[in-house]
Amino acid sequence: MLRTIDAERIERAVLCAHSYGGMVTTGAADRVAEHVEALVYIDAQVPRDGESLWSLVTPAFRDAFIDGAAADGFSVAPPPGLDGRVTAHPLASFIQPIRRTGAADGIAKKYYVWLSEWEDSPTRLIYERLRDEPGWDVRTWPIGHDVVGQATDELVDFLVSVI
């Protein structure tokens, strides 16, 4: 993401994140905030300095990560039933805390969409934190976590509206 912004000389980026992608997008936005016009998080993690995915999720998700890494000890297998293109994820990236300068906090347009129909959602706490935080436009969509599969048109319309 950072290399693309630099290589393409992007001056006004809209960064969009879903799920774990919020960890990556937050880190990138913090480093190139001067080039980010808007941040859009769709049922994603929004870490503060020093937080990791591990610290942001429930014990049930931590257990699922450990169980998912049982085969080789370092890569978390995706849960069954997902799109066949989904691949394993390094366990260490779930544990490593993010380091932020706070630069991304000054980005004027910040959106969060919570997908409320995911039972035991690990993003509920993020939603509850951001809905009361100044500077955030927070919304709720009554669908599960698979926003692309369940609400493709709504997602596209929303993303176009924030540009």
Q: Is the pLDDT at 138 greater than 80, yes or no?
A: yes
Phi then psi for 44, rounded to 5 degrees?
-120, 165
Whether residue 90 is found in the same domain as residue 25: no
Whether residue 63 is found in the same domain as residue 40: no
Which pLDDT score is estimated for 84? 78
The structural domain count of the chain equals 2
pTM value is 0.92
pLDDT tens-place string over residues 40-51: 999 999 999 999
Q: Give the amino acid at 2.
A: L
Q: Is the pLDDT at 103 greater than 80, yes or no?
A: yes
Sign of the four-CA dihedral 154, 45, 140, 138: negative
Q: Is the pLDDT at 26 greater than 80, yes or no?
A: yes
Whether residue 23 is found in the same domain as residue 59: no
Whether residue 119 is found in the same domain as residue 154: yes
Portion of the chain with pLDDT greater than 70, in percent: 99
